[in-house]
Amino acid sequence: MCIDARYADFNNPDQLAEAFKGADTVLLISMPFVGPRRRAAHKNAVDAAVKAGVRRLIYTSIVGAGLDECDTYEVSDHKYTEAYIKSQPIHYVFLRDAQYAEAMVSAFEEAYEKTNGVLSNNMGDGKMAYISRDDCALFAATVAAGAGEDDVIYEVSGYEPLTIAQYLAIASEVTGKKVVYHEISDEQMYAFFDSIGVPRTTEQMWVDTAKNFPFCSDGMVTFGRAIRLNHMSTFTHDSEKIVGHKPMSVKEIFEDIENHKIGSITSTED
């Protein structure tokens, strides 16, 4: 198998088609911005793959994308992209990743350092099979290398489904830093993010005061609501079947916390 790294401009369809030329498989990792621009960028990539004669397109989607009632800020774009790919003459593989455990690592640290060990959000008692980005990347690379089947959807779940309170209990035990959960409403959650400078949408980008939250509040609030309603509680063993072993548990992630922080978004639209 030959792996070739090429520059790809998602806003330039002609350049994309040239970049994909000769490829058998393309792994399309969803863009970090949300809304019409992301849909346009994804459409450009899909069109370019078809134009270049790519046989198989792997797309990193999100948990909940298969439910009509799941209508979060993030999920809507993934539903659009999945439907568009299915309408094209190309084989597809959708990887519906669960929520990144690293995102909640940052939330845990923020709560311990700035809100007296209380993490307040709107997730309630809903469950999520939190997964490390490392495991998502390994799953995607394994499929890109030829594992799995064509025209299928894989639910890329973490080690086990947990409520946010259960997640925090594990994190507290491992780190020795006690953080407890307090449920708040969607409106209260918006007010919190507004107070620390988190923008409502990705159109506004990110500011220094919100460095631990490289996401927009529309995304996080609607995501939390979907978790509370158990629209994103899907749990499977697809990772074991494809990769050959279980993904990291939340306990293991916090035991290696320095390597599992959310970090910075590095992609660009320029």
- Longest CA–CA span in the chain (Å) reads 55
The pLDDT of residue 173 is 98
Q: How far is CA 38 from CA 31, 68, 137, 209, 268, in A?
A: 6, 20, 21, 25, 12
The pLDDT of residue 203 is 64
The pLDDT of residue 33 is 76
The pLDDT of residue 204 is 57
DSSP structural state of residue 116: T
The pLDDT of residue 269 is 44
* Residue position matching structure tokens 């969607």: 186
Mean pLDDT by 10 residues, the chain (270 residues): 77 91 93 85 96 97 94 90 98 96 90 93 96 96 95 97 97 97 95 83 54 70 94 95 96 93 52
CA distance 18 to 114: 49
Nearest residue to 80 (alpha-carbon basis) of 10, 27, 31? 31
The pLDDT of residue 220 is 86
Q: Give yes or no for a contact between 156 and 139, defined as CB atoms under 8 angstroms apart.
A: yes
The pLDDT of residue 2 is 65
